[in-house]
Each structure stands twice: as structure tokens, then as C-alpha cells.
Amino acid sequence: MQWIAQGFIFRRITSPFHQLDPRVKLLVSIELFTLSLLVGSLPEVIIALSGIFAIASISKILRRISRTLTYTLFFAIIIFSINILVGYPLMDAFVIAVRFLAIVGSTSIFFLTTPPDELELVMKWFRLPRDIVFAFVTAVRFVPVLMMDALQIMDAQKSRGLELQKGNIFSRFRRFIPILIPLIVDAVLRSGDLAEAMEARAYGAVKKPTSLYQLEIGVWGKVATILSITLIVPLAYLFLFLM
């Protein structure tokens, strides 16, 4: 469980991809996402996944993205099984399931390489309302915190004799109630504390607050943008009309 949780937690790493402007990272992620949506055969899936793993390797997040995909594998297996049950051929069901992995992988690249502060700047650049940006970024920022809370709650309940791995799927689900209730209560209490702390620090006092950081694409950002477009656009054309 803790091994999987690590796959969702952003960590500051020095890599060429991490240093790019967040808008460029978002563009690359959207391009890979689009490519993943377009795949329809095994070679196309392999090309899309190779692109994702190549970027993950440059970003030094290969191990962490593997953890995220391990977690996603459970859902991919469900998708595969449902497709088989409704009569899809084996290879098509396989491609659809792997396509799901590619979609998750492409979005994970952005979230595993972009700190919440940069995410906030990107959303503000898109001129989204400040309160929505704040709510979204706070939710992203608290994902790892909630993960760690969940692990601590599980430890506390296991120490009181709760056996999460025992019984059939329904009784296992019921056994998660002692984990979910403290987690939800804790999250609600924390959100109240956060709201008070933000108000105490003058959140919302002025309509247009100044920002400490400014977005700047830079030379390498421009190079990465051009390179990604020149690679992805022909590939997307190939997937759509030729393969």
C-alpha cells in the first residue's frame, strides 16, 4: 500500500523535463494523452507507451510512474474482462485495456513533474477564477497528505485487530468502513482549519493579488514545444488515417 502511495506523491527532482515551463509540460502531456486516445492496434499502443516511458525516463520518474500504473492495472484488468464478456476479440480487449494504462500514464507525467505551485500558475494563466484554482490546487496538494493519513489509520485499526485481507469481497469492503470514516472526518476537520488559517492570512482581501513567480518559457521550452509538435502531429495523422 505504501509502495503504491509513493506513486502519487510529487517529489522535487532535478531533470531536464522538470525544469521546463509547466505550460510546455502540460502540452507534452496533452499530446501524449491525445495519442493514447487515438491508438487502435497493438503497434500503435506500443508507440504511445514508448513515448510515455521515454519522457518518464528523461524526467527520472520511471519507477514512480510504474507504481501508478501498477495501481491502474487493477482497473485495466476489469476493463479487459468486461470487453471479453461483451464479445470483443481478445486482441481488441487487450488494446483497449492497455490504452487505459497509456491515458493514465500520459496524465501522470504532468502531475508527477509539476509541483502544485506551478499548477496554480498554469491555471491562472488560463484565466480560471481564483477560488476554483485555489480549491483545485489545494485538493492536489492534499492528495499525498490524505494518502499518508490513510496509511496511519490503517495501522491504528490493524493494531486493534482489524484484518483487511480476510473474507470475501463484500466483507472486505465492509472492513474498510473503520478506515474511511476517520479519513473523511479528518479531511473535513482539516479543511475547516485550512479555511480559518487562509482567512487569518488575508485570503480574498484584495481582488487581484500579486504573484511571487512569473511563467517564462525560455529557449529550452521553445525547443521542447517545437520538437514535441513535430513528432506528435505526424504520429497522430499516421494513427488516424494510415495505420
Partner 1 sequence: MIEFSSVEYRHPNGVLALRNIDLKIRKGEVLAIVGENGAGKTTLIKHTNGLLKPSKGKVTAFDMDTNDESVANLSRKIGIIFQNPDHQIFSESVENEVKFALKNFGFKEEAISERLEWALNFFDLERYRTTSPMLLSGGEKKRLCIASVLAWDPDVVVMDEPTVGQDFIQKERLIKIIQMLVSKGKTVVIVSHDIEFIWPLQPRVIVMCGGKIIADNKAGKIFQERELLNKARIVKPQLQELSEKIHGESSGAFSNIYDAKQWVISKLKSD
Instruction: State the nearest-atom distance from the C-beta of 61 to partner 1, in Å.
Output: 13
Spatial CB neighbours of 71, under 8 Å, sequence gap ≥ 6: 4, 7
Spatial CB neighbours of 67, under 8 Å, sequence gap ≥ 6: 3, 4, 6, 7
Scored b (16 or more CB within 10 A) or e, 135-159 reads eebeebebeeebbebbeebbeebee
Which residue from 70, 60, 68 is spatially nearest to 107, judged by alpha carbons?
A: 68
Determine contact, residues 151/5, Cβ cutoff 8 Å. yes
Q: Is 157 a binder of partner 1 (CB under 8 A)?
A: yes
Q: Cell triple for residue 7?
A: 506513486
Is the C-alpha dihedral spanning 73, 9, 48, 43 positive or negative? negative
Contact region with partner 1 (CB under 8 A), list: 14-22, 35-43, 81-89, 178-186: 178-186
> Which C-beta is closer to partner 1: that of 166 or that of 207?
166
Which residue from 148, 147, 123, 149 is spatially nearest to 137, judged by alpha carbons?
A: 123
* Count of CB atoms situated within 10 Å of the CB of 200: 8
Q: Is 182 a binder of partner 1 (CB under 8 A)?
A: yes
Instruction: State the nearest-atom distance from the C-beta of 5 to partner 1, in Å.
Output: 8
Helices (H), 39-61: 42-58
Q: Is 2 a binder of partner 1 (CB under 8 A)?
A: yes
Instruction: State the nearest-atom distance from the C-beta of 142 to partner 1, in Å.
Output: 15
Cα-only R_g, the chain: 21
Contact region with partner 1 (CB under 8 A), list: 19-27, 32-40, 137-145, 179-187: 179-187
Please report, as a single letter, which amino acid is at residue 216.
E
Q: Is 191 a binder of partner 1 (CB under 8 A)?
A: no
Which residue from 110, 113, 83, 87 is spatially nearest to 98, judged by alpha carbons?
A: 83
Q: Is 3 a binder of partner 1 (CB under 8 A)?
A: yes
Q: Is 216 a binder of partner 1 (CB under 8 A)?
A: no
| Binding-site size, partner 1 (CB under 8 A) | 22
Q: Is 161 a binder of partner 1 (CB under 8 A)?
A: yes
Instruction: State the nearest-atom distance from the C-beta of 75 to partner 1, in Å.
Output: 22
| Residue in 66, 152, 171, 211 binding partner 1, rule: CB under 8 A | 152
d(CA 218, CA 104): 28
| Residue in 30, 92, 178, 203 binding partner 1, rule: CB under 8 A | 178
Q: Is 149 a binder of partner 1 (CB under 8 A)?
A: yes
> Which C-beta is closer to partner 1: that of 60 or that of 158?
158
Instruction: State the nearest-atom distance from the C-beta of 47 to partner 1, in Å.
Output: 32
> Under the rule (CB under 8 A), what is the footprint of partner 1?
2-3, 6, 149, 152-153, 155-163, 177-178, 181-182, 185-186, 189
